[in-house]
Amino acid sequence: MYAIIETGGRQLWVVPGETVKVDALEAEQGAKLTFDALWAVGDAKEGQDPATSRAAKVTATVVKQGRGPKIIVFKKKTKKAYKKKKGHRQWLTEIKIENISLN
């Protein structure tokens, strides 16, 4: 069973039990979140009807809030004595996918 969800302007392929890092969400550690699935597929017994797959819900739990690795942005213009170095760390939320329910 898997689903495709959208969060932070990105689409993610998720399965139950998986831990995923997404852009920062306003939620406390241990909070339950629900996402609407863009697409979901169950077992062969449940079928793969497109109408029911779009009505699926994905339940997740916030594991932790944190920051990603440092990205270095370096600009230089040759023969001009111009150099600029800047770092950036993106805020991330780590979530664990608990359940995918096909309605």
CA angle 14–18–24, rounded 5-degree value:
75
pLDDT of residue 99: 93
pLDDT tens per residue across span 25-67: 999 999 999 999 988 887 655 556 666 666 889 999 999 999 9
Q: Distance (Å, rounded) from C-alpha 78 to C-alpha 70?
A: 25
Question: Picking from 1-10, 58-67, 68-77, 89-98, which range would have the lowest pLDDT averaged per residue?
Answer: 1-10
Give Dmax over CA atoms of the chain in angstroms.
67
Distance of CA 55 to the CA centre of its chain: 19
pLDDT tens per residue across span 60-71: 999 999 999 999
How many other CB atoms sit within 10 Å of the CB of residue 35? Answer: 21
Q: Distance (Å, rounded) from C-alpha 22 to C-alpha 6?
A: 10
pLDDT of residue 14: 95
pLDDT of residue 50: 62
